[in-house]
């Protein structure tokens, strides 16, 4: 009876443990959700969630807050001051010689005062207006940089997505080829049993299969790494598995316009607009430096409660009030000889910024010309790679037939097989390279958001 009871408890415990592990395993499977994304969806997610994009949007907010801060320079500065102190009696020395003829006058021992002051700029050489203008120009730069960050991230997503797509297509080719290699190995092993081929041919077939399997393994791991990078770009949760949607159309190419069309657009891309705004800031800074030659005018006032009244002597022990209001003007005479170097620096900075704008323009021209030419080249390759695939397939068919009839060695069979695999990959790779180059061309021309 005792043994049966013990076994029953152990069975119950084991069943409970088994159920727990089953639930745990099911939960972990559920946690690993697979999120399949198209190229357009991946670009959209990156634009909304990528941390670099979100950071650039915060920089816009900071620039807008900087404008508000500069505008507040127009507001008066208001201060409220209070003071309490105790003082000693007043000691005078009226005799001849040091510390002779001491005479002490009793003072009121307590002093306290409460007063407020304000000062508001009326004219300070137009510096406040120029400071606000610079803040607005910096805000424009922040907006353009945010736009550039979004476009850069979108292009990075496209490049990553197409690289994964290319590797997945290559994986398909490897898997088809591995099946072919396994079938060929069986044929070679069969021929060896009948004494029609040597052991060396069997080893060569095994090496070819092993090489393909290694390539497929490496490629599959690279796909996982690239998928993880894509997941980071579009900020998917760690517990979600990502897959790209290979069923959706990737043909985003709308033909190739003339180079001049893209160049006209590129002159208004993000880099050129940033360079233009930076030049404008340098010119505004020059105006601020010129303001050092001009006087400053402020409206001011103060009002306070004071005790005792030390306006008279001996002081009166009474609380009194005093207020003042007026206009204050000042001119820094030292600016007449100190500001010249600042003016020279500001003018030199403008020249430097103009040169920088020209450098940026030339770099964009060179980059755009290179990408336009490369895109043309890729489009022209379409016919060549299609023909090369047909030739490689026909060559493989002929060599395989000869090999089965023992008219060629396995080395020729391997060469034909490699040529066919390369031709298949070249066709897929060229199509995907064309799509990527199309996006790169639009990115350089500042047209990526219009695509």
Select from 102, 445, 39, 437 the least CA-distant residue to 270: 445
**Predicted local distance difference test score (pLDDT) of residue 18:** 55
| Cα 297-299-301 angle, rounded to 5 deg | 140
How many Å apart are CA 362 and CA 334, to the nearest integer?
Answer: 43
Per residue, the 3-state secondary structure of 270-322, as one string, reads HHHHHHHHHHHHHHHHHHHHHHHHCCEEEEEEEEEEEECECCCCCCECCCEEE
Domain locations in the chain? 34-89+127-295+331-450
How many Å apart are CA 235 and CA 390, to the nearest integer?
Answer: 42
Is the C-alpha dihedral spanning 289, 293, 294, 295 positive or negative?
Answer: positive
**Predicted local distance difference test score (pLDDT) of residue 16:** 58
What is the helix (H) or strand (E) element at residue 33, kind and residue range? strand 33-37
**Predicted local distance difference test score (pLDDT) of residue 23:** 52
Per-residue pLDDT of the chain (451 residues; tens, 9 = 90+): 333 444 555 555 555 555 555 554 444 444 456 788 999 999 999 999 999 999 999 999 999 999 999 999 999 999 999 999 998 888 888 877 777 888 888 888 899 999 999 999 999 999 999 999 999 999 999 999 999 999 999 999 999 999 999 999 999 999 999 998 898 888 888 888 887 778 888 898 899 999 999 999 999 999 999 999 999 999 988 888 889 887 776 655 567 899 999 999 999 999 999 999 999 999 999 999 999 999 999 999 999 999 988 888 778 888 999 999 999 999 999 988 889 999 999 999 999 999 999 999 999 999 999 999 999 999 999 999 999 999 999 999 999 899 888 888 888 988 999 999 999 999 999 999 999 999 999 999 999 876 5
Q: How far is CA 15 from the centre of its chain?
A: 53
pLDDT tens figures, 211-238: 999 999 999 999 999 999 999 999 988 8
Q: Which class is 34-89+127-295+331-450 in CATH?
A: mainly alpha
What is the helix (H) or strand (E) element at residue 344, kind and residue range? helix 335-404
**Predicted local distance difference test score (pLDDT) of residue 6:** 45
How many Å apart are CA 29 and CA 199, to the nearest integer?
Answer: 47
Alpha-carbon distances, residue 135 vs 52, 120, 149, 272, 284 (angstroms): 23, 21, 21, 19, 10
Residue 307 has which token pair?
């005790």
- Number of residues in the chain: 451
């Amino acid at each position: 009876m005792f043994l049966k009871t013990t076994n029953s408890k152990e069975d119950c415990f084991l069943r409970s443990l088994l159920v727990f592990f089953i639930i745990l395993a099911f939960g972990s499977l559920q946690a690993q959700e697979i999120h399949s994304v198209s190229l357009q969806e991946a670009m959209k997610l990156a634009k909304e969630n990528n941390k670099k994009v979100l950071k650039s949007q915060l920089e816009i907010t900071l620039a807008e807050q900087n404008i508000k801060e500069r505008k507040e320079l127009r507001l008066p500065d208001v201060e409220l001051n209070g003071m309490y102190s105790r003082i000693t009696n007043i000691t005078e020395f009226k005799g001849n010689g040091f510390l002779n003829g001491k005479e002490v006058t009793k003072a009121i021992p307590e002093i306290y005062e409460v007063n407020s002051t304000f000062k508001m700029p009326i004219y300070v050489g137009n510096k406040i207006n120029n400071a606000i203008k610079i803040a607005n120009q910096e805000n424009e730069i922040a907006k353009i940089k945010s736009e550039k960050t979004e476009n850069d991230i979108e292009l990075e997503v496209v490049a990553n997505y197409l690289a994964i797509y290319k590797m997945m297509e290559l994986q398909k080719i490897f898997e088809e080829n591995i099946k072919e290699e396994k079938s060929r190995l069986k044929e070679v092993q069969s021929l060896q049993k009948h004494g029609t081929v040597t052991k060396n041919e069997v080893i060569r077939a095994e090496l070819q299969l092993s090489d393909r399997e290694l390539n497929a393994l490496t490629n599959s791991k690279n796909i996982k790494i690239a998928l993880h990078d894509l997941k980071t770009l579009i900020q998917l949760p760690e517990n979600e598995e990502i897959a790209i949607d290979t069923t959706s159309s990737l043909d985003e190419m709308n033909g190739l316009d003339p180079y001049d069309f893209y160049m006209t657009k590129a002159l208004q891309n993000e880099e050129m607009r940033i360079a233009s705004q930076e030049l404008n800031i340098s010119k505004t800074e020059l105006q601020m430096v010129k303001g050092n030659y001009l006087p400053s005018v402020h409206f001011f006032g103060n009002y306070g409660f004071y005790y005792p009244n030390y306006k008279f002597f001996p002081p009166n022990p009474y609380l009194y009030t005093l207020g003042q209001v007026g206009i204050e003007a000042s001119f820094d005479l030292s600016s007449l000889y100190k500001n010249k170097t600042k003016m020279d620096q500001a003018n030199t900075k403008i020249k430097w910024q103009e040169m920088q704008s020209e450098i940026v323009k030339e770099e964009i021209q060179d980059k755009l010309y290179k990408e336009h030419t490369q895109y043309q080249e890729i489009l022209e390759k379409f016919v060549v790679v299609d023909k090369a695939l047909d030739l490689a397939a026909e060559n493989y068919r002929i060599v395989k037939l000869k090999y089965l009839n023992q008219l060629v060695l396995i080395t020729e069979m391997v060469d034909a097989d490699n040529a066919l695999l390369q031709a298949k990959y070249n066709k897929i790779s060229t199509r995907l390279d064309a799509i990527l180059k199309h996006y790169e061309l639009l990115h350089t021309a500042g047209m990526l958001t219009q695509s």
